[in-house]
Structure 1
Amino acid sequence: MLKRTALEGHFWATIWVRDRCTSIDGRPPVSSENSRWLDRSKPDGRLGKYFLVTDKSPAKSETGLRPASIIWYERLAWVGVALTAISAAADWAVLIKYYNQQPIFYPIMVACVFAVQLLWISLVARKRQNWARWTSLVLVVLAIPGEILGFDERFRFNATMTIASCAAFAMWTVAVALLFRRDARGWFADRRLASGAGPPL
């Protein structure tokens, strides 16, 4: 939530508690896409108060208001997707094998896999879907045993593919961990409170 305060005189001090940043200037702060500053100057010309009005509609959420953990989640997740593609390309013989068996279905399936990954990143980092955040954690935890137990066999089969795959999994693991930092939890809490669902766990 936003707290507002204004000092009459030569400057205004506005503390934005939600994003933990403080703006002190000799003029009213500049308007943004999601907020505007209303001037309550007195009719006789005396200095009034400026206060911030914010549109908290989820559909108009401003990218610049996202916390650092969410921004880094998105970046690392994109790196994870890229490493997944590199891992698949490193196993070229298998790709050709499945393509020859299913020349139409297999490319569509691969495209759908990457489309789902990109959609998932958007659900978490742009749409603030708390269920997607928790599902990401469950999927990462369930995948850990397989990554550990199958590493030796996969490494002997194709070292480049295995290294790229493990690097992708590491990126996703760190990215998901960022979703449970304090600033990220507060970001998801704002979304749930606005919808009346209550704060997330």
Structure 2
Amino acid sequence: MKSICVFCGSSFGTREAYAEAATTTGRVIAENGYRLVYGGAKVGLMGTVADAALAAGGEVVGVLPRSLQDKEIGHEGLNELHLVGSMHERKALMADLSDAFIALPGGVGTLEEIFEIWTWGQLGYHQKRCGFLNIEGYYDHLLAFLDHQTAEGFTKKVMRDMAQLGQTPEELIGKFRDYTPPSTPKWIKKDET
């Protein structure tokens, strides 16, 4: 594992703990010798995680659609900033540049990003790790729904377990180091089609 991608909000949310977690995450990624890959903005939790990694001497790579750069929210102090034409290109490049993915608190964009990566893993497109950093229970309701979805037979347990969970970045990165994603067997039997 060389690069860790962080998905998170372009705003700060309502709790100071979210910004504190973004700061800690950026610092821990840098201090452990990983490169941070993220969405390239200087605002909200996105800017906070990047600033913390840079302050700790880490390498930070941003990927930002040109339309957002034009709105002057691009971070100007990164080691690399890739400007791309669309959100689709952004997510594809972030996936290519990264070996693992962390979802900090964020909105629907954050969820869409982590779910796409998780789905690609379930389909066998990659063997990369992904997980949720559950700051002050931010993801509790979502995780309960995912467990419900599994209990109702829409997600196999082995696939549900692909998304790791941590309360701290140290815990989640430790789980990433120890985790081997499953090979993706055929999950639909002929009599289920």
TM-score (ref. length: structure 2): 0.24
Structure 1 or 2: larger helix share?
1
Higher strand share: 2
Normalising by structure 1, report the TM-score: 0.24
Larger Rg: 1
